[in-house]
Structure 1
């Protein structure tokens, strides 16, 4: 089996509207951190992957990103670049949780990396 998906992000132009939209459609309970304007999604299910909905901004475009578990985000970004992709962010630490990074594949799709 390959590397699993660990997280998903929905980044929206209007995060509050997007949170309301997805909550209404899927019955998601969303706990919003007002300082970050980011909502953690509680799907109340034992299956599936966790995720969140945040606000698009200067450094984050609207869209959906799946974060895939890797052992070494920096090494994976180097491999991405060698295969024709581009890093969008440098690896960054989420204190006490892990390291994240985002790249674009050769078709321009945004994909996230999650290093535990």
Structure 2
């Protein structure tokens, strides 16, 4: 399991779950992915760092009042303050202004002009997920949008994203320095009409069918059953508190 030391600017580098019952979520994801957890304490807002075989892979945080239970995606930034300025210039909104997070790094939270919320992360002591694309870690992030064209223009202005179109779909693969780094596409039909745009996280698993069955055993729900795709066998699920995510077994 090679560890990741740093991420290029604009590449998804971290995911965290905002939920109303942190202990319940920890039990669910420990049973599903084998994660262990460290509490950052009162100074860190009791943010839980999830580890996989000793390596940080995700976070779980108490849900702010009025916000949904959801997984969030953080995009790497070389300079959060400079990125925040570009976000404003490109028509985005800063929900949380740049701030230092203990000795871990510097962050901000923003919303793109099509309504999707995302985080920025400038790593110091904590550079982001130490592993990706391995079972139990995130492997893909995509912006599912009410207005993919506006979203593409925005992220191109902020991060310089280039795009490859997928034929026959309103979906583009994000390219950072020529390498795939995520996607932007339309909100899927299963999402209730009128829903906000959002960033979705995929987690790698060894066996999608077994993982989907385990989600149900743990009190979650399978929204789209395991299906073969050109990129691996995938399913769309919710955890036992309603947070939406995807699982995929890749070759």
Q: With the length of structure 2 as denominator, give the TM-score of the two structures.
A: 0.40
Residue pairs, 1:76-95, within 5 angstroms: 76-95=83-102
For 1:37, the equivalent position in structure 2 comes to 46
**1:15–1:37 Cα contact (<8 Å) kept:** no
When Rg is computed on C-alpha atoms for both structures, the one with the higher figure is: 2
- 2:67 is the counterpart of 1:57: no
The answer on 1:5 being equivalent to 2:35 is: no
How many residues are aligned here? 114
1:2 to partner: Cα distance: 5.6
SS at match of 2:96: coil
**CA separation of 1:92/1:59 partners in 2, compared to 1, >3 Å: closer, same or farther?**
farther
Unaligned runs of 5+ in 2: 1-7, 124-251
Question: Shift in Å at residue 55 of structure 1?
Answer: 0.6
Match for 1:28 among 25, 35, 38?
35
Cα separation, 2, equivalents of 1:77 and 1:102: 9
The answer to whether the 8 A contact 1:29-1:41 is kept is yes
The CA RMSD measured in Å over matched residues stands at 2.4
TM-score where L is the length of structure 1: 0.80
Structure 1 residues 59 and 33, CA gap change in structure 2 (3 angstroms): farther
User: Is the 2:9–2:77 Cα contact (8 Å) retained in structure 1?
Assistant: no
Higher RCO (CA 8 Å, separation ≥ 6 residues):
1
